[in-house]
A and B are shown apart, each in its own frame.
Chain A
Amino acid sequence: TQLLEQSPQFLSIQEGENLTVYCNSSSVFSSLQWYRQEPGEGPVLLVTVVTGGEVKKLKRLTFQFGDARKDSSLHITAAQTGDTGLYLCAGGGNNAGNMLTFGGGTRLMVKP
């Protein structure tokens, strides 16, 4: 079973601060996705990374895929209250159903 560990589980910061969320595994993933979920809604895809060492930027969000494709990070610069939500990483393995393995999630609260 491929497992993904996310850290921290909870993060409460002030608006304007920077933060980094980590997603680690002992397994290699063919791709890794980051999702953001708000209460009562389904997760919304933020980014997919597929190449070891890849870095993708989405406005104030920077995503990095580890060289060995076993870990990833999400860095948010100058957090805003609208960034509040549950951030989930999910890894796609080489399995028949193309099933995703989800990390435990990081619950971020950005206070004004």
Chain B
Amino acid sequence: GAVVSQHPSRVICKSGTSVKIECRSLDFQATTMFWYRQFPKQSLMLMATSNEGSKATYEQGVEKDKFLINHASLTLSTLTVTSAHPEDSSFYICSARGQGHNSPLHFGNGTRLTVT
């Protein structure tokens, strides 16, 4: 079955530094990947839609200069949290959709970011 790999699974960084999270589709090509943020005991909030070869589409309220998304190939999208602050601490999850309009999303295992 389709697998999405997300790395790292956990990261702790100091305030002011930047963190890059990778999302890879392992056995299928994903022209579109999605980045979500999840607060404790809450549902997933879509941050942005990552499109291969073009700029990402950000949801309202998400700062594009703070959360940089690069989708350089059909199997890799990256999310960089720039100048991280403690309030950026969260669980970040990526997903990718297989081909076909009704194809389900396959999720990575998430990245727990802690900014100290």
- A positions within 8 Å CB-CB of B: 30-31, 33, 35, 40-45, 48, 50, 86, 88, 90, 92, 97-100, 102-105, 107
How far is the CB of A63 from the nearest CB of chain B, in Å?
A: 13
Are B57 and A97 in contact, with the CB atoms below 8 A? yes
Are A97 and B49 in contact, with the CB atoms below 8 A? yes
- B positions within 8 Å CB-CB of A: 4, 6, 32, 34, 41-44, 46, 49, 51, 57, 91, 93, 95, 97, 101-110, 112
Which of B41, B102, B107, B109 touches A92 (beta carbons < 8 Å)? B102
Residues of A within 8 A of B108 (CB): 42
Given contacts A97-B49, A105-B43, whether A45 and B102 have CB atoms under 8 Å apart is no
Residues of A within 8 A of B46 (CB): 99, 102
The complex places the Cα of A102 from the Cα of B43 at a distance, in Å, of 7
Residues of A within 8 A of B95 (CB): 42, 100
Given contacts A99-B34, A103-B43, A105-B42, whether A45 and B49 have CB atoms under 8 Å apart is no
Give me the 7 closest cross-chain CB pairs, A-B, nearest first.
A42-B107, A105-B43, A31-B102, A42-B109, A97-B49, A104-B43, A42-B110
Residues of A within 8 A of B105 (CB): 33, 45, 90, 100
Are B43 and A97 in contact, with the CB atoms below 8 A? no
The complex places the Cα of A97 from the Cα of B51 at a distance, in Å, of 9
Residues of B within 8 A of A45 (CB): 104-107
Residues of A within 8 A of B106 (CB): 45
Residues of B within 8 A of A92 (CB): 101-102
> Closest B-chain residue to A6, C-beta based?
B43
Which of A40, A88, A105, A107 touches B110 (beta carbons < 8 Å)? A40
Residues of B within 8 A of A44 (CB): 107
Task: Provide a sorted-by-A list of 20 A–B residue pairs whose CB atoms are within 8 angstroms.
Answer: A40-B110, A41-B110, A42-B107, A42-B108, A42-B110, A43-B93, A43-B107, A44-B107, A45-B105, A48-B102, A48-B104, A86-B41, A88-B44, A92-B102, A97-B32, A97-B51, A98-B101, A99-B46, A102-B43, A105-B43
